[in-house]
Structure 1
Amino acid sequence: MTKRVAESLLLERDSELTALAAALEAVRMGSGSLVVVQGPPGVGKTRLLAAATDQAQANGLLVLAARGHELERAIALGVALDLLAPPLTAARPKERARLAAGLAAPAAPLFPGLLRQELSPAAPGSDDMLRGLCRLAVNLTGWGTEGAAVRPMLLTVDDAQWADEASLRFLAMLADRVGALPLALVVAVRDGGDGSEVSALRRLTVQPPNRLLAPAPLSAGAVERLVAGVFPAAGDDLAAAVAHASGGNPFLVGELLRSLQADGHVPPASAVAGMVPGTVLHSVLARLARLPAEAGRLATSLAVLGDRTPLRRAARHAGLGLPAAERAADVLAGAHLLRPGDPLGFLHPLIAAAVHADLPAFARARAHRRAADLLAEDGEGVEKVAGHLLVSQPEGDLAVARTLREAAGLALRRGDPAAATRLLHRALADATAGRYSGELMLELARAQMTAGDMAAHDTVTEALPLLDDAPAPVRAEALTLLARLRNSRGDFSGAAVAQDAALDLFEAGDPRSEDVLAEYLMIARFHPSLRRHAARRLAPVLREARQGRPPGRPGLLAHLTLQLALDGDPVPEVLRAASGALAHDPLVDPVGHGSLMGIVVHALVIAGELVAAEAAADAALSAARRRGDVLAYGYAGYHRALARYHQGALTAALADLEAARGPHDEGWNSAGGWIAFLLAWVHLERGEEDAAEEALHLADPHPPDGMYSPLVLDCRARLSLLRGDPAAALRAARDAGHLLERLYEIDHPGLLPWRGTAAIAAHHLGDHPAAQELAGQAVARARTVGVAQAVGAALRVAGLVARPRPDLSLLAEAAKILQGTPAALEHARALVDLGAALWRAGRGRDCGPPLRQGLALADRMHARPLAERARAELHAAGMRPRRTAVAGIDALTPAERRVALLALHGHSNGQIAQTLFISTKTVETHLARVYRKLAIVNRRQLSEAFGSPT
């Protein structure tokens, strides 16, 4: 009988077994895949996963398995940790360190006691953790890791409809990448399961490369074969009745046959003719009722406690002594209800569901409360205890509320705000009125906001009256959260009112207000309608700082640094504020992934301190790489590119922008406008007009009143100049300057030298008075702010547009000033313009040195248009300029170029493989082709070949 029933679970499953075998064979050859097994309970999904596991183990694959449990859906990343913790536990410390290195680092805090990591003051964001887990899974295969042997892997997840949402997002993220990996992912999910509406679960069923297996019910012939195996003398009528009653479901066929066999004789067809699947499961309960009472009590306790429960705990819950519980477990296993052995588990989830559903509602709730107490006594984690508390009845117990609150906090840190929301809703039912309820509601609002649920606005509004007597920091946190929510809804004035109220809670000079003010400024000062109010809030901070009393918190120091730079304060003061902001952590704000660090770098660039700006971004890149923070790495890459662009390191800037575009391409597109203008600037200097035009489209989805919008307009002005449309260039340049001043009251050439662009455009139009007026204004403004780079650039333009001929003294002064700055790109322009003007003034002897120096700089920078102009001027002057060595960069394919840029960026082969999700061998192949095309032999020569200045 047992053999026949077990056979039913794989009967008529040849096509499914063939598909699984093909997936496993493909992964052995290095091609990963996703297989989803979907169907109703009892159709044999678990058995198919077991067959895949058996075959994978026989073929030497690494096999990791996990299963969703209905009561453990509140355990954030529970299924993911069940998958990945066993191989980490089995690994030696040195191997664990390798597995958790690089992009896997954000996952390290999820494995306390197993992995150690340099942690930032706040845990990484949820998406960082998920990416870290994906990289950890990849590292377990050895793929993309230098010096590691590749071992193909099978990951199986059963009952995925009961997996927690964070784990499902991890699986979906891994499935996005699985086609390039030696990894097969096989997921079993019920039709219409409770989790079927979770978007991550839906994604899995349509994810390419995907095979969806939907095992069909057994045919009438297959059921007849199974019936004949149990009742050889039975006729066709009994087989037909069993097929009808079970619907061809393999599990229900087996249970029905067990129940019929218990009667000890061949039943008539009429005994089952009227049965339906529900009554088949009732027969399980009838079978259980015929067993000794101790067996029924143990089965009921196990149904409440869940699979994988130790026998000792189940016995305590059932009120049985250990010997009696052991006898009961043996009886239940003999009746094919439980699997033999400890820990205990039902033979099939449907059996557990039937036993659990048979409990009356209040008895079931009380049984779960008792289960929670037992788990707590045994030292199980709060998340497991909370799973039982969620289905217990509220009793006004503050201890229950505290446990649920603690579990919610853990869920939030692990990136599952939906689970945290459920836990906090239930905690509120046990909390008493007043401040404790208010703080719980505040946490609920935070979880809802993180989950993207705008009900958070109503929750925090309801919480505020309950927090009247709470400490100022708690109430300020609530008001700050309300401000964020209003801001996200477009209610900017309402956001300002809430944030003002938060700031008013603190006495003047209270250092606790500094973080609140920094967050407010991050929202308000970059939004035109709130900017003036933000300036008023920042004004006393500026006054205090200028009197030698700067703020102490790094976030507020970052905003101070930017304002000092924009106001044209002495450069040493800007540097002092920047140093304070970056002193403790180069990212300044780990929670914000380095956005405040970016403010500091922008301030340093505006002040002309390009070397200091690059050093700050360098340190941030190193910190982000250590932590595996992909978003912070992208932000730091962008800001280093900004500093490098002005220094003329155009190719290195492109490499940095590759790092910046990684997070953007994965959906973090808030930086798209900033990336657009800088990428366009770089391409224009390299003579890549079409690439510049394409880069500007990155700004298209973004609001037209962002601070980057004037910079994008300036790029369009430069592009129009190159394309011979100075009228359009003049309009765009003027619009850029006026927009920046109207929206933000900013007029600083270190941020946007729009007058220079406009003056050149007016000059080309023949409107020389307008050109000279604009150029004169540019010089005056640059001298006012006192930034040498800005002064030199403005003087260069003023010298070019002077009439009746270019002003040699202004051009010479520009070149001299710029020679003393790190602004190599602007210096090269000044040299070429000076040399060309000298030649046209009849000073052929004097034009050679600046033209040759400008050409050398432009060649080294790969600023091709500038280099070609310098070369043309030298030819016109009768000189023979040296030819640029053919580097072969234009012959690189896009894939080769990207690998080369990342290598130039300082990535190892393994890091490049991790970043691009290609194998280390593929990286090596690409680099070999790069070296051949560039006529170099190692990565140390990449800088010279790509023309990056040293």
Structure 2
Amino acid sequence: MLDQEHADWGTTCTDRVSSWATLTERESELTRLEYLFCGDDTHEGRIGIIEGPSGSGKSELAATITRQAFVHGFRVLRAAGTRRERTFPFGILSQLVPADEEAPYTQLNEAISTAVLLGMSGDGGDQNIRWDLLHAWCSLIVELSRSTPIFIVVDDAHHADTHSLAILVHLLKRSRTTRVSVLLALTSGAVPADPLSLSELRRHRNCRVIRLALLSEPGVAQVLAERLDAQTATLLAADYHAATGGNPLLVNALIDDRLTAVPDPKSTLRLVIGDAFQHAVLSTVERIDGVMPSLVKAVGVLGDSATPRLLAALLGLDQAHVTKLMHMLCASGILCAEGRFRHPGTREVVIANPSQIENETLSYRAAQLRYTDNAPAGIVARHTELPLSDAEWRVAVLAAQGHTNRQISSDLFITVSTVEQHLTQIYRKLHVVGRKELPLVLRSTVGQGA
């Protein structure tokens, strides 16, 4: 426990630590969340929920509030959800047991370990053990709160397991007579592991939901001025904002790369993309959804043709789900509203990143889709590795569709002689003896990897 004398909930909050100043454009959010550890001494449970796009600074805001809760005498219990452990029974709860080596805590940890080993699920397993854990943990927290207010913070709460959230809901139902505050941080639009429990927490009468937006261009300028200098901020704020959409994680990563790679940051007026930005892009993408690495790679392969319909067909996903993920990528500053990457460097990062599906496979599938979709031949050509120029591809596709040389000439506004010259090159490069073989060759080529 904390050794200092603990302040109660009636403490006023006129003082703030200097670290709050580093959270750009978050002043109103900080003020709204003060009530978690300040205000009247009602001893009622309180909830704060921070939600926003991936990379928007939810964890940083939660950490700042948590530090202030500690300063105000709260005992802090921390946990974080992960995609891999969202179905892990009591995964969050096991992180929220105090680390003290006293009998009540060790016994509770042993009980949680036993329940996990039994492989309990949300609608099965030994319900007696589940009830015993609920009662034991809630009783422990209530007892601790009699002498010390408790502050529970869960990062990436959309990954929190069903068992843990259900017990947290039960605690807050009992907390009208206990000094317990709960702060959750979660990604907007992400599918929670337990939507019902999260919904119940949102409906709690003492719940405040804080929705974070990305930084404005003046906000990006403020970050640049604080970490670099005012002149650079004035000159580059628009470029940094355009490349990141104001995503704080991406903005700061670009600054890190600039400070690392440029001896004199004032000597260049271009964006510097290095390891920090690469890691930030991949982190932003991967924290949204498990299929996101493959989706952004597909966006990179399709380029301007990356519509939700084609992306869904390319990856074998539901189109509505793809549309939702595209919106989340836009909200996170990875894509612009038109569905294109905000910066070429972002596309290079996701294309180079290994994922469940390789670039070559995606390229062949994209070519097949565009070919069957009657796309212009030049677009199809960009997704294949056949040694044909765009002009030759246009001629080859029309010839494969049964057009005569004169029709091809008319359609492409070139002479019949030019059509014949292109066909000669096409036959040679594709090792065919005539136009009758073209449909089979083209279909088999774009069909590889599908």
TM-score by length of 1: 0.25
The structure that is helix-richer by fraction is 1
Structure with bigger gyration radius: 1
